[in-house]
Amino acid sequence: MRTIPDLFQFFKLEQPVLHPLVAVVDFSRVREEIIGDTRVSADFYTLIFKNYNRNNIKYGRKLVDFTDGSLICMSPQQVLEMDDDLEVVPQMMGWGVFFHPDLIRATALNEKMKNYTFLSYEVSEALHLSEKEKQILYDCVQKIDAELHENIDVHSQDIIVSGIEMLLNYCSRFYGRQFITRKNSNNAVVAQVEKILTGYFKGDNSGLPTVKYLADKVNLSPNYLSDLLKKETGKNAQDHIHYYVIEEAKNSLLSTNKSVGEIAYGLGFEYPQYFNKLFKQKTGKTPVEFRMN
């Protein structure tokens, strides 16, 4: 789906398109069944809240649990997949907010979008909402929808964008709560990450580990893993990688006679200069100064 009218056509909605760059959809008005094995992506941002009595949506190739109502947030080009192995629910309930990047391109919100990392989460990392949280988000959506039904004037875009920003801010808050309430499972992920990084430098791996490498190992998206680690430890995924790299470098500097260049290449750095810069940034000393002291 490239445009908002494409969205209306996909859901076979009879209601008029009120704005070419943003839409609010009440899924109880979608009467047509969506057949299984359908993969959907869009050129716009998507926030979907739905209640189902069965699972029949895949997000990041894994089933999303909508039993109690969950929210998924997607950036342009991400994919939802209707699973053809499960029955399709003829009556959907919930809402969707869809807005094209062009709507916010010349606004302050455009600069803030990179802070909403949940828009790039994958797998089954949906936001599970309490009844109170559902109502708060629904109120935000209702305000956006109400403005779309007003006659467009010079204030319309500012009010709509402001409503979207408030909706995204609440999503950030509620994801923060979800990280806290899932502390036990999060601690297990932290321990797993530490084990992976410890083993990585003891094995015959070439190159530096990446955030994507870690995320794949624990079956999470890179952004979700980084946010989880930040909440639990104060350090994101890249910080954890750097910590273990520097610790391994310290061991080599003090226990071997290898040159700084040899250590850098052995750790997976393509250029020793980058290793020197990172080491000084993290320790306050160059590798040579650390070894001498």
- Residues 262 and 171 grouped into a single domain: no
Torsion on CA atoms 64, 65, 66, 70, rounded to nearest 10: -80
Q: How far is CA 137 from the centre of its chain?
A: 18
Instruction: Give pLDDT, residue 92.
Output: 58
Higher pLDDT, 123 or 201: 201
The whole-number pLDDT of residue 100 equals 96
Same structural domain, 85 and 192: no
Model confidence band, residue 57 (pLDDT cutoffs 50, 70, 90) = low
End position of a domain, from candidates 156, 181, 206 = 181
Is the domain of 14 the same as that of 80? yes
Instruction: Check residue 68 and give its pLDDT.
Output: 54
Q: What are the CA-CA distances from residue 242 to residues 140, 232, 246, 278, 292 (Å)?
A: 40, 17, 6, 8, 22
CATH number at residue 206: 1.10.10.60
Mean pLDDT score, 133-140: 95
Does 177 share its domain with 188?
no
How far is it, in rounded angstroms, from Cα 213 to Cα 228? 16
User: pLDDT digit string (tens) for 140-154?
Assistant: 999 999 999 998 888
Work out the average pLDDT over 20-46: 83
Spatial distance between the Cα atoms of 173 and 51, rounded to a whole number of angstroms: 21
In this structure, the answer to whether residues 165 and 37 fall within a common structural domain is yes
Let me know whether 234 and 152 are in one domain: no
Average pLDDT score over residue span 211-223? 93
**Out of 39-43, 147-151, 164-168, 246-250, least confident range:** 39-43
- Angstrom distances, CA of residue 201 to CA of 72, 137, 161, 211, 281: 36, 45, 47, 15, 21
Q: What pLDDT was estimated at residue 50?
A: 77
- What pLDDT, on a 0 to 100 scale, did the predictor assign at position 279? 95
Domain's final residue, options 181, 212, 238 = 181
Mean pLDDT on 227-248: 93
pLDDT at 64: 46
Query: Domain boundary at 181, 196, 223, which?
Result: 181
Quick one: what percent of the chain has pLDDT higher than 70?
A: 87
- Burial degree of 257 (CB within 10 A; 0-12, 13-18, 19+): exposed
Q: How confident is the model at residue 52 (pLDDT cuts 50, 70, 90)?
A: low
**Three-state DSSP class for 41?**
strand
The token pair that represents 54 in the structure block: 């069965």
**Is the same domain home to 209 and 285?**
yes
The answer to whether residues 141 and 190 belong to one domain is no
Q: For residue 206, what pLDDT is reported?
A: 75
pLDDT of 72-131, one tens digit each?
Answer: 899 998 887 765 444 444 455 789 999 999 999 999 999 999 999 999 886 468 888 888
Within this chain, do residues 132 and 192 fall inside the same structural domain, yes or no? no
SS (H, E, C) 76-144: CCCEEEECCCCCCCCCCEEEEEEECHHHHCCCHHHHHHHHCHHHHCCCCCCEECCHHHHHHHHHHHHHH
C-alpha pair distances (Å), 40 with each of 63, 85, 92, 142, 237: 15, 17, 17, 25, 30
> Would you state the pLDDT for residue 36?
62
Token pair, residue 85, equals: 């192995």
Q: Which pLDDT score is estimated for 80? A: 78
One domain, residues 257 and 150: no
| Torsion sign, CA atoms 234, 240, 246, 252 | positive
In this predicted structure, what is the pLDDT of residue 59? 46
Residues 138 and 36 in one domain: yes
Determine the average pLDDT of the residues in 30-55.
74
Question: What's the number of domains the chain is made of?
Answer: 2
pLDDT at position 179: 86
Mean pLDDT within 235-262: 93
Minimum mean pLDDT range among 4-18, 68-82, 169-183:
68-82
Q: How far is CA 133 from CA 50, 61, 69, 154, in A?
A: 14, 27, 11, 32
Kindly report the pTM of this predicted structure.
0.75
CA distance 258 to 263: 6
pLDDT value of position 32: 61
pLDDT of residue 60: 47
Residues 154 and 18 reside in one and the same domain? yes
For residue 229, is pLDDT > 60?
yes
Q: Mean pLDDT check: name the lowest of 51-60, 129-138, 141-150.
A: 51-60
Range of the domain at 19: 4-181
Residue 9 sits in a domain whose CATH number is: 2.60.120.280
Average pLDDT value over all residues in the chain: 86
